[in-house]
């Protein structure tokens, strides 16, 4: 059904009407209520397969007042980015719903035979203290994501193939942890090297060494891993087993399934389940943090791209009625046309998130959310 809709949608994109949209009314709109409220989204009957635009616009800023209340037992990782600053507030308000918060601050770069960490200008010690205070019941940990940047093929060869280089890399990370009082890192290296190595043995051995050093220093190591795409499995069950005892968790990137070349749902729920069970077919999934997108996609005749909260809400104001629901992907979408043309928008809803959390409970995985600044405040009632 949805495939036929897309075909019709893109055929119609070539047909433009000459009618001028009605001018918006000049009357100032009533500002929606915001902040803590006495009932959660379940008690407010807001979880539905076809929410109306009005329901979302009027309720998305209201969240249950007991922000220490939790509904999920596994590891919950939330990413925070400097370019979506609301995520900093979310981490402080809902800190007790997370076991780990990962600010996207840092990059590690080669500097001659040594390494340097850049991005520490974004480190906010007061914010870290506030998050840890908010998450004191769960004892939330601050684990910045560290991205390898500026590495050539030769740089990777030295890093993975020379023990001295590996130890310098580890020391650089440990020294920064000690200086800034981090609780560990989310390490992003596997996606960059997926498909580029003849043998993954050197990469596995490298991560094992990093993990061993982190454990000896009582630090957490979360490894970012890519999902399966079109029958290609860039991270295998054998690699999962080889690294299981050396990392705290695996952050599985189960989102961005569709793109502007292939418009559609961001993370079909059956695909997500397949990604999980293919990596760990026999259980032992507690260390898999299933990726949950708190952003959407806006497809337009010119392409479009990722859409965040304020853009989504602005487009939602043009929707008269309810969102559509695709049962196969378990995602909501809507189509609107405004002054700048047609928009086909996919964005998570309470229902789509709730169904994915049910899946994670069933498969006994954790959660990783990309990212806190992009979602709606009432989403966190579900955690």
d(CA 165, CA 298): 43
CB–CB of 103/160 below 8 Å? no
Edge-to-edge strand ranges of the sheet holding 341-346: 303-307, 296-300, 341-346, 331-338, 324-326
d(CA 235, CA 238): 8
pLDDT on residue 48 = 98
Q: What is the dihedral of CA 354, 254, 290, 53, to 10 degrees?
A: -20
Report how far apart, in Å, the C-alpha atoms of 4 and of each of 10, 14, 121, 264, 337 are: 10, 17, 49, 12, 19
What letter would DSSP give residue 49? S
DSSP per-residue string spanning 155-169:
HHHHHHH-HHHHHHH
Nearest CA-CA partner of 211 in 222, 224, 201, 225: 222
3-state SS, residue 343 = strand
Q: Which residues contact 29 (CB under 8 A, 6 or more apart)?
A: none
Report how far apart, in Å, the C-alpha atoms of 15 and of each of 8, 288, 381 are: 11, 46, 42
3-state SS, residue 345 = strand
pLDDT on residue 26 = 39
Q: Which residues contact 305 (CB under 8 A, 6 or more apart)?
A: 260, 297, 298
What's the angle, vertex CA 376, arms to CA 63 and CA 263, rounded to 5?
A: 150
CB–CB of 143/220 below 8 Å? yes
Q: Which domains does the chain have, with CATH numbers?
A: 71-296+351-382 (3.20.20.80)
pLDDT on residue 29 = 55
d(CA 371, CA 383): 14
| C-beta atoms surrounding 280 within 10 Å | 20
d(CA 63, CA 55): 14
Q: Is 90 exposed, middle or buried, given 0-12, 13-18 or 19+ CB atoms closer than 10 A?
A: buried
Report how far apart, in Å, the C-alpha atoms of 168 and of each of 22, 112, 115, 173, 240 are: 63, 12, 7, 9, 25
pLDDT tens for the chain, 383 residues: list them: 565 445 444 444 443 332 323 333 434 456 789 999 999 999 999 999 999 999 999 999 999 999 999 999 999 999 999 999 999 999 999 999 999 999 999 999 999 999 999 999 999 999 999 999 998 899 999 999 999 999 999 999 999 999 899 999 999 999 999 999 999 999 999 999 998 999 999 999 999 999 999 999 999 999 999 999 888 899 999 999 999 999 999 999 999 999 999 999 999 999 999 999 999 998 899 999 999 999 999 999 999 999 989 999 999 999 999 999 999 999 999 999 988 899 999 999 999 999 999 999 999 999 999 999 999 999 999 99
Report how far apart, in Å, the C-alpha atoms of 356 and of each of 125, 173, 345 are: 33, 34, 19
pTM score, whole prediction:
0.92
- Would you state the structure tokens that stand for residue 57, as one six-digit string? 């616009």
């Amino acid at each position: 059904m949805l495939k036929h809709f897309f075909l019709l949608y893109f055929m119609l994109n070539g047909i433009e009407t000459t009618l001028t949209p009605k001018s918006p009314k000049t009357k100032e709109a009533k500002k929606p209520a915001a902040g803590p409220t006495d009932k959660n989204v379940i008690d407010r009957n807001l979880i539905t397969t076809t929410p109306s635009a009005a329901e979302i616009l009027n309720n998305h800023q209201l969240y249950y007042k007991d922000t220490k209340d939790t509904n999920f037992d596994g590891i919950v990782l939330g990413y925070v980015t400097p370019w979506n600053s609301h995520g900093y507030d979310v981490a402080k308000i809902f800190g007790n719903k997370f076991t780990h918060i990962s600010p996207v601050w840092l990059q590690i770069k080669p500097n001659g035979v040594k390494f340097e960490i850049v991005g520490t200008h974004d480190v906010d010690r007061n914010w870290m203290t506030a998050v840890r205070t908010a998450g004191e019941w769960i004892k939330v940990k601050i684990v910045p994501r560290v991205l390898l940047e500026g590495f050539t093929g030769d740089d990777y060869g030295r890093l993975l193939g020379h023990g001295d280089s590996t130890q310098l890399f580890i020391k650089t990370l440990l020294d920064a942890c000690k200086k800034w009082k981090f609780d560990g890192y989310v390490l992003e290296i596997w996606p960059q090297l997926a498909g580029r190595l003849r043998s993954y043995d050197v990469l596995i051995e490298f991560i094992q060494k990093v993990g061993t050093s982190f454990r000896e220093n009582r630090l957490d190591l979360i490894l970012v891993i890519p999902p399966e795409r079109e029958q290609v499995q860039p991270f295998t069950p054998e690699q999962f087993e080889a690294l299981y005892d050396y990392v705290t968790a695996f952050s599985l990137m189960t989102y961005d399934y569709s793109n502007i070349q292939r418009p559609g749902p961001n993370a079909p729920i059956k695909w997500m389940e397949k990604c999980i069970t293919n990596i760990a077919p026999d259980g032992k999934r507690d260390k898999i943090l299933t990726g949950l997108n708190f952003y959407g996609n806006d497809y337009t005749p010119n392409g479009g791209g990722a859409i965040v909260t304020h853009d989504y809400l602005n487009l939602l104001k043009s929707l008269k009625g309810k969102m559509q629901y695709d049962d196969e992907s378990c995602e909501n979408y809507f189509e609107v046309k405004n002054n700048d043309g047609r928009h086909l928008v996919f964005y998570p809803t309470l229902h789509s998130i709730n169904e994915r959390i049910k899946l994670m409970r069933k498969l006994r995985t954790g959660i990783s959310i990309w990212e806190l600044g992009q979602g709606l405040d009432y989403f966190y009632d579900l955690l």
